[in-house]
Structure 1
Amino acid sequence: MTITGENFDTEMGNKPDLVGEMRLKNIHKGEDGNEEFDEDGKPRRTGTVWTASAHIITAIIGSGVLSLAWCVAQLGWIAGPLALFTFSFITFYTSTLLADCYRSPDPVNGKRNYTYMEAVKANLGGAKYMICGVTQYINLVGISIGLTVTASISMVAIQKSICYHKEGHEASCAVSNNPPMISFGIFEIVLSQIPNIHKLSWLSTVAAIMSFSYTLIGVALSLQRIISGNTGNTSLGGIEVGPDVSEVQKVWRSFSALGDIAFAYSFSLILIEVQDTLRSPPAENREMKKATMIGVTTTTLFYVMCGCVGYAAFGSNAPGNLLTGFGFYKPFWLIDFANVCIVVHIVGAYQVFSQTVFAAFEAWVIKKWQTSKFITREYVMNIAGKRFKINCFRLVWRSIFVMFTTVLAMAMPFFNDVLALLGAMGYWPLTVYFPIEMYIAQKKMKRFTFRWVALELLNFGCLVVAVAAACGSIQGLTKALQVYKPFTSKQ
């Protein structure tokens, strides 16, 4: 094993352009004639429509897809599918507007905006830039914590399934969430040393395959239940008011369902960062629109299958997690495999979201302390003929970030309720408001023209839904806090 040192800036892509000192005008050529750097001085981007689609699918199709049967159960056969298709269209449309903001002022030949925040700053100015940053990064950190909780739930489900299979259905198989969370955190510390999102294509591809796998398993088991005739009651209006559900609860549940569906389509907060991985030519905005079409269309297909087939199977008793509705017993091996797929998918999703946080913080630190060897020095290790790059600052700070999210997940095992609130608050500004306002500014659109009015009506309508969803999330969070005991969660 040999160890050598080199500049951290090369691997991180933090050329002088990133820290605002200078811009390289020409594309540099390597010894083999290939382009080593793009026109901005950063390492040549190699992403394609398919790698971007994998990132999008990994970000959108979370294990939350398994809650869509519950969402449709609250809304019914009319409003449920309608909500799925409506949010699908809104997300795709506003994402195409956002894709045109990667470069400004011209969407094809303008200056690159490497992050969502930079795009907002270039198009809308400093005040909204700060609001965007606070909203985006609170959501990104919150998602990382929520993913840790969700992964532990699936890991615990596997342990309980094994326990019931060995000890019998009457055995007491309560398992603490804490050890699985710690194991997940340790694994993420290792993966967090992957330098940047550009290097995550393989992990996103694996994660996307896993998301398809567990979704299809949930749909297949639901179809089996439908064929057997063991189904619940369904209706056009969703869960009915009665002894078990009051009118107020019906309203809160409907609001919460809308929030869950809206949040299930949230990926715009990392769209610009994903677009920054695409090679050019062809133009990045055109390729990103293709990737968005593939990603949103694919996820909508799976969402409708999972939500509607799950509702048909369980009716008003649809569980919050579709896989838990089949119990831990039969077919235990298939449900265990589905939970393994969930964990593997979440491993990749955690990295897709957290790498955006890593990149933003590291760019700021490098700009502030450019001469620090602790921050900028890369150590290249040759192990068994393979080169691995280690940076002390990256190792320390990323490990601290993962440990922070893991400890918070252990302290607040109900964090998915908090995440639903963050999602409800973050969907409107990041997926709808900023893309629309940037597009209006970029096109210098005049007020009160037909298109301006249509865009602002869409903006206002999504705000109303977001406020309603936030109210539903707060009500669920209030219930969770009534029985809250930190670090003592068991299932």
Structure 2
Amino acid sequence: MGWKEDGRIAEAEDGAANGDSNGSAVYDPTKFDEDGKPRRKGNVMTTSAHVITAVIGSGVLSLAWSIAQMGWIAGPSVLLLFGAITYYTSCLLADCYRSPDPVTGKRNYTYMETVQANLGPKQVWACGLVQYSNLLGTSIGYTITGAQSARAITKSNCFHSNPDSPCLRSNNGYMISFGIVQLVLSQIPNFGELWWLSYLAAAMSLIYSTTGLGLSIGKIAEGGYSHGSISGTSIGDPSLAGYNTRAQKTWNVFNALGDIAFAYSFSMILIEIQDTLRAPPAENKSMKRATLIAILTSTGFYMSVGCAGYAAFGNASQGNLLTGFGFYNPYWLVDFANACVVVHLIGGYQVYTQPLYAFIEEWVSSKFPKSNFINKEHYVKLPFGEPLPINHFRLVWRSIYVVMTTIVSMLLPFFNDILGLIGACGFWPLTVYFPVEMYIHQTRLPRWSQKWILLQSLSVVTFVISLAAAIGSVASIVSDVQGYKPFSNNA
């Protein structure tokens, strides 16, 4: 008797966990964890790479624009505040991976299972709706950003080879190409098998962030440019479209809050990332260390890139920092940075969508346990490595998902607006509300105690901020949609 794996969950054959009638024990702790799944191999460094891949994504490119909406004092302060809140609530969430004890309790494999174990079924549906809608939105946001970065490369090369050409380029072809790559990568069945992609994507994020920082510093050194102001963009400034009224200024400030929230959004996949960690040491301790490394790294880059970008372009900062350098020399360096963005977002797309894939597949499998179409694995031999498991349902549904997100991205290619809306809708419930409520439940924190009041106050304040950010993002989308023609040749 032995263990078998269906491509998603390894389970013991009947009687295997406790030994068969002949007394042959089959549980091998060197190959399997106590829950019957293949032994987890993740460590602090691999987990940090996963988190950095999830955190330092397309959000970093909008930070100069976000700071420009609020100015030199409020902009960096809000950035630091969001980083501190994210780290603190992530530590609360990491303690909820096992229940009821954070070290010896039963594992919760997903964010929703964690909510189920701590808050009960009534809040699970609300959590699932928010979490997986947010993952869906992130897929769309990454497709838009990847296409914009790829388009920026060809526009820059076109301009430098033929300065008289208008160099019009549509996002559509690049979005389709991005989707084709995701069609292939999405057939990787196991989130833990993507460690190499996370390492690559994390390296790319550091490279393009550093490049954007260097280009910004170089532009600052040139002199003769506006280096921003205390209050940010000015109301009635005729040189800046969209800032002619107080209402438009307000919407853009709110939208900037959503962009910053999006830049720190990874809590919805924290549990899934934590489930890749080996033990000992305890998973919550490793996750906290990994989160600290990732948040410090990302915040350092966010502050550097955002502030340097704002100092370089002032109140005229572009929504996507690197596309703002499209016609600057050395343009090959800008092209290289944009290529790194594309590679990073290819990996980031998978980090965010694999939990959604797993949720749907496990749910459908539980509904139709006898269906070969849904549950049977077919193995394809590869010229190198182990055979690739192919599942018919996984092949069909994941392909439909990638095609759908690609089409929606082509319909609404509004970088800042979409990122702001995703960040606004996901930050409060997933990063603050559920971690706070689960921590209160797990620790049995007395109602109206000092810590209980502080945690609830944090939840209320972040809810108000998220609501304002959502309103601003929707207002910006409504404004941008007017006069926009889907699938057009957008310059």
Contact 1:52 1:274 in 2 (8 A): yes
Listed as ranges, the matches of 1:64-79 within 5 Å are 64-79=59-74
State the Cα distance separating 1:127 from its structure 2 match.
Answer: 1.4
Paired amino acid for 1:483 = G
Distance verdict in 2 for CA 1:14–1:358, change over 3 Å: farther
Query: In structure 2, what is the equivalent of residue 127 of structure 1?
Result: 122
Q: Deviations over 1:375-398 (max 9, x none)?
A: 222222333353222222222221
Contact 2:187 2:395 in 1 (8 A): yes
Query: In structure 2, what is the equivalent of residue 283 of structure 1?
Result: 282
Distance verdict in 2 for CA 1:13–1:285, change over 3 Å: same
Paired amino acid for 1:71 = S
* Distance in 2 (alpha carbons) for counterparts of 1:88 and 1:29: 48
Distance verdict in 2 for CA 1:29–1:481, change over 3 Å: farther
Query: In structure 1, what is the equivalent of residue 164 of structure 2?
Result: 170
**Counterpart check, 1:460 vs 2:460:** yes
Match of 1:224 among 208, 218, 222: 218
* Distance in 2 (alpha carbons) for counterparts of 1:190 and 1:29: 40
Q: Indicate the larger mover: 418-427 or 305-314.
A: 418-427
Q: Deviations over 1:223-251 (max 9, x none)?
A: 11111113214222222334433322222
Residue 377 of structure 2 aligns to a residue whose secondary structure is strand
Listed as ranges, the matches of 1:53-452 within 5 Å are 53-167=48-162, 169-244=163-238, 245=243, 246-384=245-383, 386=385, 387-414=387-414, 417-452=417-452
What percentage of residue pairs aligned between the two structures are identical?
53
* Distance in 2 (alpha carbons) for counterparts of 1:415 and 1:277: 32
* Distance in 2 (alpha carbons) for counterparts of 1:376 and 1:392: 8
Paired amino acid for 1:116 = Y
Residue 6 of structure 2 aligns to a residue whose secondary structure is helix
Distance verdict in 2 for CA 1:415–1:87, change over 3 Å: closer
**Counterpart check, 1:45 vs 2:40:** yes
State the Cα distance separating 1:22 from its structure 2 match.
Answer: 10
Contact 1:141 1:354 in 2 (8 A): yes
Paired amino acid for 2:368 = W
* Distance in 1 (alpha carbons) for counterparts of 2:16 and 2:144: 42
* Distance in 2 (alpha carbons) for counterparts of 1:332 and 1:415: 22
Paired amino acid for 1:191 = L
Distance verdict in 2 for CA 1:113–1:278, change over 3 Å: same
State the Cα distance separating 1:166 from its structure 2 match.
Answer: 2.2
* Distance in 1 (alpha carbons) for counterparts of 2:234 and 2:89: 34
User: Which sections of structure 1, spanning at least 5 residues, go unmatched?
Assistant: 1-6
Count residues in correspondence: 479
Paired amino acid for 1:290 = R
Paired amino acid for 2:133 = I
Contact 2:171 2:489 in 1 (8 A): yes
Residue 381 of structure 2 aligns to a residue whose secondary structure is strand
Contact 1:72 1:238 in 2 (8 A): yes
Paired amino acid for 2:185 = L
* Distance in 1 (alpha carbons) for counterparts of 2:208 and 2:11: 41
Residue 15 of structure 1 aligns to a residue whose secondary structure is strand
Q: Deviations over 1:433-457 (max 9, x none)?
A: 0000000011111111100000011
Normalising by structure 2, we get a TM-score of: 0.93
**Counterpart check, 1:474 vs 2:474:** yes
State the Cα distance separating 1:365 from its structure 2 match.
Answer: 1.6
Query: In structure 2, what is the equivalent of residue 484 of structure 1?
Result: 484
Q: Indicate the larger mover: 251-260 or 51-60.
A: 251-260
Contact 1:421 1:474 in 2 (8 A): yes
Paired amino acid for 2:225 = T
Distance verdict in 2 for CA 1:235–1:416, change over 3 Å: closer
Distance verdict in 2 for CA 1:479–1:29, change over 3 Å: farther
Contact 2:260 2:423 in 1 (8 A): no
Distance verdict in 2 for CA 1:414–1:239, change over 3 Å: closer
State the Cα distance separating 1:281 from its structure 2 match.
Answer: 1.2
Query: In structure 2, what is the equivalent of residue 35 of structure 1?
Result: 30
State the Cα distance separating 1:29 from its structure 2 match.
Answer: 8.7
Contact 1:102 1:285 in 2 (8 A): yes
Q: Indicate the larger mover: 76-85 or 392-401.
A: 392-401
Contact 2:47 2:277 in 1 (8 A): yes
Paired amino acid for 1:460 = V
* Distance in 1 (alpha carbons) for counterparts of 2:135 and 2:320: 23
Q: Indicate the larger mover: 35-44 or 328-337.
A: 328-337
Distance verdict in 2 for CA 1:22–1:87, change over 3 Å: farther
State the Cα distance separating 1:205 from its structure 2 match.
Answer: 0.6
Contact 1:59 1:349 in 2 (8 A): yes
State the Cα distance separating 1:68 from its structure 2 match.
Answer: 0.6
Distance verdict in 2 for CA 1:60–1:24, change over 3 Å: farther
* Distance in 1 (alpha carbons) for counterparts of 2:41 and 2:25: 15
Paired amino acid for 2:9 = G
* Distance in 2 (alpha carbons) for counterparts of 1:133 and 1:221: 41
Paired amino acid for 1:428 = W
Contact 1:25 1:39 in 2 (8 A): no
* Distance in 1 (alpha carbons) for counterparts of 2:16 and 2:227: 64
Q: Deviations over 1:151-210 (max 9, x none)?
A: 11111111112222222x221211121111111111111111111210011000100110
Paired amino acid for 1:462 = T
Q: Indicate the larger mover: 476-485 or 117-126.
A: 476-485
* Distance in 2 (alpha carbons) for counterparts of 1:283 and 1:306: 35
Q: Indicate the larger mover: 412-421 or 132-141.
A: 412-421
Contact 1:77 1:236 in 2 (8 A): yes
* Distance in 1 (alpha carbons) for counterparts of 2:314 and 2:18: 61
Residue 12 of structure 1 aligns to a residue whose secondary structure is coil
* Distance in 1 (alpha carbons) for counterparts of 2:16 and 2:55: 34
Contact 1:376 1:391 in 2 (8 A): yes
Distance verdict in 2 for CA 1:390–1:350, change over 3 Å: same
* Distance in 2 (alpha carbons) for counterparts of 1:330 and 1:237: 30
Paired amino acid for 2:86 = T
Distance verdict in 2 for CA 1:368–1:307, change over 3 Å: same
Contact 1:23 1:41 in 2 (8 A): no
Q: Deviations over 1:394-423 (max 9, x none)?
A: 222211111111122122223752442232
Distance verdict in 2 for CA 1:29–1:236, change over 3 Å: farther
* Distance in 2 (alpha carbons) for counterparts of 1:8 and 1:184: 35
* Distance in 2 (alpha carbons) for counterparts of 1:175 and 1:240: 31
Paired amino acid for 1:260 = D
